[in-house]
Structure 1
Amino acid sequence: MQSDRPIFVIGCPRSGTTMLQLMLHAHPRVAIPPETRFMISAYQRRLHFGDLTDPACRRELAEWLVNRRQSRFHQLGLDAAEVAEQIVTGPPTLGSALGVVLRAYAARFGKPRWGDKRPSYFQNVDVLLRLFPDAQFVHLIRDGRDCVASLKEMPWHTGTVHSSVSTWAEAIDFARHRAPKLPAGSYHELRYEDLTADPEGELRTLCAFLGEEFDPAMCEPSRVAGVAVPEHKTWHVNTHREVTTVRSGSWRDRLEPEEIALCESVLGDRLEEYGYELSGAPKASAAQLLAYERTATMRRLARTKRAALDRVVRLREPNPVAAQLTSAQLELAGLPLPRLEPALTG
């Protein structure tokens, strides 16, 4: 039986996750949409939707998902009324409702396997596993100095260099400390530099992890960029071009000396662990290091506060949250698998 497990692409922002999304979307059995904005916000709001065994509550959730512009449902090219009806008539769990949207996107392309891509999901893997207990996570890692340099240039990025450095550190610390504790067969990581240098080799390994056959179309993600990357995201212009290594190491020309010093002072051991050579920049100034520590501490406190709040909310959940759409999800819920109709013989 071929896998129907959901696939989630994660990584520090500007790690190349959109390119990887397109590589997966080019596969004949997999569809990964542009970044959505409903997954975590729906989970955080789950008590508001009430008892989802009540069709009226599922209707409210469905309308919130398909009509709220912030969710970016409108970018998926789906019929809102049709998807809302699928949610109302579907299994009575939050994960199922969210999965129905992703499944409908895959069905738009005639593909059986679905998932999602959002870099910051590395911060929410525990939540995604609650929603989709059979999920598989693909973590793309890129030289932190290149990520910081690229974030500086983004029109939507409002953070400081300190927050950018902290974000990459958090992504790597997730890979080093939390990922090894995930269920077997649920986590795979690869480096941007290796993926761009040897797309076929890296994608063959990735497909083996996913339980899929490699398809050469995956090496030409630009062919599907016009479909799977919204036009307004001009910062993804490179996804419309051939895969190249030209951007690897471009931090040397894009970062100021003091920014390189900060990156290597804070991230040095992490960079070296993942095979990135340090430039030998001098140690960052005490003021820069103090500013970084303030930022990192504030981010840690915010994560701790969110986790504590989530533990409280879990005690008040009126329903299980796990999806009941895929074969493994149904099995975990103790539900029968759908029966396959026998093939007609002539």
Structure 2
Amino acid sequence: MDRYAQLFILGSPRSGTTFLSRLLEQTRYGKPIETHFITKYHKKLPQYGDLSKKSNFNRLMRDILAERPVQQWRLDLDLNDFFDRVSPDYRYGNIVNQLMVYRHGGRDGVSWGDKTPHYIGDAERLFDLFPEARYIYIVRDGRDVALSLLKKEWGPSNTVSCAEYWARQNSHPAVQDRLYRGESVYFLTYEDLLAKPAETIRSLYEFLGESVDPDKLDALIKETQAANSFKWRQTMSPRQIRQFEALAGGVLKRFGYPVISTNPRLRFLEKPLFHIHEKVSKWLFLLKTNLVDGALIRFFGKEPFNK
């Protein structure tokens, strides 16, 4: 798989992964996209058996092609031809590479990028599948992440759930271990990207082995919005700040973010009540997604993941 180069942007949702992908569009990787299927089907591989057998290979590919994000690519993929293209290397990593090559027009040796947020929870699988890939890990102040997540119907529905989610997403041992060892992972904060765009973008491009000319750098800098950070200071209530810092204060401190509450703690029954609220909200969202949106996608041509 050394003919290919992969780039993965790791970061919890609403941490700037989409913005970062736009800044990297001019690199050989292009604008990283969300695939969503890579780690999901890596976990399921035992169900498919020997992928060098065409029947098993086709079953896997049909399932991948049926995934909503992949449907949006509108691939006209002949499975028999694709089986021959992958030959003789039927390892899952090569299958993914060849599918991404096909998506980019079939040119051999294509480099590609991915920014699927939830992959941060399965980073160890990515490290195993793509050991030569480059990884960029972006972190944003969890309180700003919470404010953004609370506006999304698919996200956590309250501050307590946001704090637990953000802390969990940014505490995975495989990622932290690579950071400490300095291996193939570039770390940055969303706030540094906004506050020091020229310095950060140059450093990013250098990490990727890319050059950026002054005119392009100026254009990239204009895309940054320094005011889009630390909004929680003006927007979050003292109660929300206390709740978030009670659950995620240690992770905030690890990344250099200030904790302003004095000895923050959750009050009696706050946590279980918010957990109940989260479960009900998630159930209602899944009901809408699976029934209502599913029907709109199937019968009325709605784009999957169009928000």
Tell me the TM-score normalised to structure 2 length: 0.75
Distance 2:70 2:208 in 1: 26
The offset of 1:143, in angstroms, is: 0.6
Alignment map for 1:165-176 (pairs within 5 Å): 165-174=163-172
Alignment of 1:63 onto 2:62: yes
- The alignment-based identity, stated in percent, is 26
Alignment map for 1:129-278 (pairs within 5 Å): 129-174=127-172, 178-180=176-178, 185-214=183-212, 217=216, 220=219, 242-278=223-259
**Which residue is 2:297 aligned to?**
none
**Which residue is 1:42 aligned to?**
41
The structure with higher relative contact order (CA 8 Å, sep 6+) is: 1
Distance change in 2, residues 1:23/1:181 (3 Å): closer
Is the contact made by 2:4 and 2:97 (CA closer than 8 Å) also made in structure 1?
Answer: no
Task: Pick the aligned partner of 1:279 from 260, 274, 277.
Answer: 260
Distance 1:195 1:281 in 2: 29
**Which residue is 2:13 aligned to?**
13
Cα deviations across residues 205-229 of structure 1 (Å, max 9, x unaligned)? 112222222356466569xxxxxxx
Is the contact made by 1:137 and 1:187 (CA closer than 8 Å) also made in structure 2?
Answer: yes
Distance change in 2, residues 1:163/1:194 (3 Å): same
Distance 2:37 2:223 in 1: 31
Distance 1:19 1:181 in 2: 22
Distance 1:192 1:118 in 2: 17
Distance 1:107 1:220 in 2: 28
Distance 1:249 1:109 in 2: 43
**Which residue is 1:316 aligned to?**
none
Alignment of 1:23 onto 2:23: yes
The offset of 1:196, in angstroms, is: 1.5
Distance change in 2, residues 1:215/1:152 (3 Å): farther
Cα deviations across residues 107-138 of structure 1 (Å, max 9, x unaligned)? 47999321211112111011112222222221
Is the contact made by 2:137 and 2:186 (CA closer than 8 Å) also made in structure 1?
Answer: yes
Stretches of structure 2 that go unaligned for 5 or more consecutive residues are: 277-307
**Which residue is 1:105 aligned to?**
103
Cα deviations across residues 10-32 of structure 1 (Å, max 9, x unaligned)? 111110111111212232x1124
Distance change in 2, residues 1:292/1:101 (3 Å): farther
The offset of 1:293, in angstroms, is: 11
Distance 1:215 1:83 in 2: 42
Distance change in 2, residues 1:140/1:95 (3 Å): same
Task: Pick the aligned partner of 2:76 from 77, 80, 83.
Answer: 80
**Which residue is 2:288 aligned to?**
none
- The count of residues paired between Structure 1 and Structure 2 equals 273
Distance 1:128 1:168 in 2: 20
Is the contact made by 2:123 and 2:174 (CA closer than 8 Å) also made in structure 1?
Answer: no
- Which deviates more from structure 2 when the two are superposed, residues 173-182 or residues 201-210? 173-182
The offset of 1:46, in angstroms, is: 1.1
Distance 1:205 1:42 in 2: 34
Distance change in 2, residues 1:48/1:180 (3 Å): closer
- Which deviates more from structure 2 when the two are superposed, residues 262-271 or residues 149-158? 262-271
SS at match of 1:287: coil
SS at match of 2:114: strand
- Which deviates more from structure 2 when the two are superposed, residues 35-44 or residues 13-22? 35-44
Distance change in 2, residues 1:206/1:181 (3 Å): closer
Distance 2:136 2:78 in 1: 30
SS at match of 1:79: coil
Distance change in 2, residues 1:26/1:154 (3 Å): farther
Tell me the TM-score normalised to structure 1 length: 0.68
